[in-house]
Amino acid sequence: MTEKEKMLQGLGYDASDAELTADRKRARMLCHKFNNLEPDQREEATALLKELLQTEGDLYMEPSFRCDYGYNIKVGKNFYANFNCTILDVNTVTIGDNVMFAPNVQIYTATHPVEAAPRVAGVEMGYPITIGDNTWIGGGSIICPGVNIGRNVVIGAGSVVTKDIPDNAVAVGNPCRVIRIIEQDI
């Protein structure tokens, strides 16, 4: 198995692999170009994002945006991310339709072994994250590796989401927990 295949299967992998290093460099170059556009260059911004991410729908992101690879991020229709979004996409991040991120949202598929020896040796892992349709992630929230967030969810500002959140929930806190289920008309 290649290091990239291991990475995408959630196995320990070597991030210093030449293919992965080149892929990260490509993503950083595209992010740099996006982050340094003039505010009125929306068409160029959208084109760069469509080159970086997997999306066919409308999306709007404020700079600055950072990611590891870009190609592991699947974005649905009508996506909006406010300033300073970071997505560590060493595994897949699937974002549904009509999703909004407030400023400083951080999505982390990446993690490291708890045991010191493999961590010091450079072993990394990553676990997929899914965010359902019609979801709003509040400012400064962190979504941890392997989390699934349902449809029609609101994550309160400053939350650290360490476990799955069901559909139609309002969830807040560190660690994030459901405080109520809401009726939805969507």
152: left (phi over 0), alpha (psi -120 to 50) or beta: left
Residue 5 CB partners (closer than 8 Å, separation 6+): none
Q: 163 in helix, strand or coil? A: coil
Strands 100-101 and 79-81: parallel
Provide the token pair at 80.
């909006």
CA distance 94 to 64: 20
Q: Where are the beta strands (DSSP E) in 6-51?
A: 13-14
Check: CB of residue 52 under 8 Å from CB of residue 75: no
Residue 136 CB partners (closer than 8 Å, separation 6+): 99, 100, 102, 153, 154, 155
Active-site residue set? 112
